[in-house]
Amino acid sequence: MPNYLSIDTSAHASVALIDADTGAVIATRTSPKGNDQTETLASYVRDLMAGHDQQGPELAGIIVGVGPGPFTGLRVGLVAARTFGFVWQVPVHGVMSLHALAERVLELDEVPDEFIVASDARRKEVYWARYNRQGALTDGPHVAAAATLPALPVYGVGAGIYEDALREAGAAPQPESFEWIAESAYLAKHGLKELAAGKDLSNTAPQYLRESDAQVPAFMKQAEAKEATA
């Protein structure tokens, strides 16, 4: 029975092995830290695959988070996913990382008619996107000061970090979600829905919504864009 490998490093290093037929999570692991993607991702993938006798070429494909997120961490997951896909000759599917947070909201007993998910963009800003009750994206992704978000329920770690600013702006940060980050299992859940609907997820270009503190040479960005559409 084929499985998917899911990877997201937009916030923390997170990997999951997903049953391609049922969508069930076979195994998942997420780092408790947000700055160790380079050190942990390869070992997480290796241990996950070995622990379930999963051979790379036998995967149905790889689902990878394309951000938004900080340059360095996000790039780790994207490069790894593309490399694995090339070596194992399996398709790589790109999914916007904030969709993983939205999938968690959809599991709640009561889902608002409209809501926002937010991750930490640092510099007193958040990466955010807006969804309707069915989980359809209606606005975003964006990067902005937390105080500028619409007056809606806000979920995700960004809501916890900037709770006061959000409340002052009239938004409603949701405490049950203050530890939520983009996790690979939820990323895969959304990706499988889109694949089942016939959507093309072949674009794995990273969603950098602002320039990173690291100065990224223009030629690197051009090469990255060419790789994503190759």
173 membership: H or E segment, kind and range: strand 172-173
Q: Are residues 77 and 188 in the same domain?
A: yes
- Res 67 pLDDT > 60: yes
Domain count, the chain: 2
> What is the span of the domain harbouring residue 133?
98-177
Q: What CATH number has the domain bearing residue 81?
A: 3.30.420.40
- Res 219 pLDDT > 90: no
Q: Are residues 53 and 161 in the same domain?
A: no
Mean per-residue pLDDT of the chain: 92
pLDDT at 72: 85
- Res 92 pLDDT > 60: yes
Cα 67-62-208 angle, rounded to 5 deg: 15
Q: Are residues 47 and 106 in the same domain?
A: no
What average pLDDT score do residues 195-222 get?
A: 76
Q: Which residue has the higher pLDDT, 172 or 33?
A: 172
Q: Are residues 167 and 133 in the same domain?
A: yes
Question: Is the entire prediction scored with pTM above 0.85?
Answer: yes
Least confident among 47-56, 195-204, 216-225: 216-225
pLDDT at 34: 76
Q: Are residues 77 and 61 in the same domain?
A: yes
What average pLDDT score do residues 109-127 get?
A: 96
Cα Rg, the chain, nearest whole Å: 17
pLDDT range class, residue 215, cuts 50, 70, 90? very low
pLDDT digits (tens, 9 = 90+) for 8-40: 999 999 999 999 999 999 999 999 887 778 888
Rounded to 5 degrees, what are φ and ψ at 51?
-70, -15
pLDDT range class, residue 213, cuts 50, 70, 90? very low
Least confident among 3-7, 10-14, 191-195, 216-220: 216-220
Q: Which residue has the higher pLDDT, 157 or 1?
A: 157
Q: Are residues 90 and 12 in the same domain?
A: yes
Interatomic CA distance for residues 98 and 186, integer angstroms: 10
Please name the residues in contact with 14: beta carbons below 8 A apart, sequence gap of 6 or more: 6, 7, 8, 28, 29, 30, 31, 181, 182, 183, 184, 185, 187
What average pLDDT score do residues 94-111 get?
A: 98
Q: Are residues 122 and 148 in the same domain?
A: yes
